Amino acid sequence: MYKSIKILSAASACAALLVVSAHAETVWKPPAEIAQKAGDAGAAPTAAAPAAPAPAAAPAAPVSKAEKEKSCADQAVAKGLKGKAKRQFKAECVKA
Q: Digits of tens for pLDDT over the chain (96 positions)?
A: 567 778 878 878 777 776 665 555 667 777 777 767 666 555 555 544 555 555 555 556 546 888 999 999 999 999 999 999 999 999 999 888
For position 60, what pLDDT does the model report?
60
Instruction: State the angle between helix axes of 83-95 and 65-79 in degrees (0 to 180), rounded to the nearest 10.
Output: 140
Q: What's the Rg (C-alpha) of the chain?
A: 26
For position 62, what pLDDT does the model report?
47
